Amino acid sequence: MSTIVDVVVNAMEQLCLMLGIGLDRAAIDKLLEPLADDIQLAYTHWVAFP
């Protein structure tokens, strides 16, 4: 099962492909790495357990 962070990375990867931005999955993952805990916390707090 993928985490919400994986879902966000996948969505950003697709958006970059559609917009023609040259960021691959590894670059996006590296950019979001500092925010991973915050993304997971926000998802848990606002979506999974409102």
| Distance separating alpha carbons of residues 15 and 45, to the nearest angstrom | 25
Average pLDDT for runs of 10 along the chain of length 50: 86 95 92 92 82
In tens, the pLDDT along 4-14 reads 899 999 999 99
Return the pLDDT at 1: 58
CB distance 9 to 29 below 8 Å: yes
What DSSP string runs through 17-49?
HHHT----HHHHHHHHGGGHHHHHHHHIIIII-
